[in-house]
């Protein structure tokens, strides 16, 4: 049974976003990590770029599949979680602690379009 946290927002492409002032961290949901299985590689080559909501900021790969990662809102990619370079399995261990990127949110009005935990759970399952 996947875990859904109500301290953050989600998008239907299975990323979560946790806001902290005008910055935010982004990762993938517990449901997504369960579906992917053993995560063996996380690639982010967008640090420093300004991306729009829905644009690809990286990818996460399990033994079986590669899955693109999408921006939940517009923003500048500030940082990639370096821990994931050596230990991508941290996402399997705790998908909500293992943030993938940190961003500067450019348009806080977009927050209203995000899904809360309950709505996301309905979509995911």
Which positions lie near other proteins, rule CB under 8 A? Answer: 37-38, 40-41, 43, 45, 59, 61-66, 68
Q: How many residues does the structure list for the chain?
A: 125
Residue with smaller CB distance to other proteins, 40 or 111: 40
CB nearer other proteins, residue 34 or residue 79: 34
Complex with other proteins: residue 6 or 49, whichever CB lies closer? 49
Nearer to other proteins among residue 6 and residue 83 (C-beta): 83
Can you tell me the distance from the alpha carbon of 64 to that of 114, in angstroms, rounded to the nearest whole number? 29
CB of 79 to other proteins, least distance (A): 19
Contacts of 31-37 with C-beta under 8 Å, sequence gap 24+, read 31/2, 31/4, 31/121, 31/124, 31/125, 32/67, 32/95, 33/91, 33/92, 33/95, 34/2, 36/60, 36/62, 36/64, 36/65, 36/67, 37/62, 37/63, 37/64, 37/92
Task: Tell me how far apart the alpha carbons of residues 100 and 79 are, in angstroms, rounded to a whole number.
Answer: 8
What is the nearest approach in angstroms of other proteins to the Cβ of residue 112?
Answer: 31
**CB of residue 90 to other proteins, shortest distance in Å:** 14
Closest separation in Å from C-beta 57 to other proteins:
12
């Amino acid at each position: 049974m996947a875990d859904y946290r109500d301290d953050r927002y989600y998008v239907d492409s299975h990323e979560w976003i946790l806001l902290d002032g005008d910055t935010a961290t982004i990762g993938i949901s517990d449901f997504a990590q369960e579906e992917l299985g053993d995560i063996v590689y996380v690639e982010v080559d967008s640090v420093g770029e300004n991306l729009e909501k829905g644009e690809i900021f990286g990818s996460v790969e399990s033994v079986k599949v590669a899955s693109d990662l999408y921006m939940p809102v517009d923003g500048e990619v500030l940082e990639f979680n370096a821990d994931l370079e050596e230990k991508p399995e941290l996402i399997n261990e705790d998908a909500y602690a293992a943030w993938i990127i940190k961003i500067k949110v450019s348009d806080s009005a977009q927050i209203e379009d995000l899904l809360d935990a309950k709505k996301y759970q309905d979509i995911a399952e």
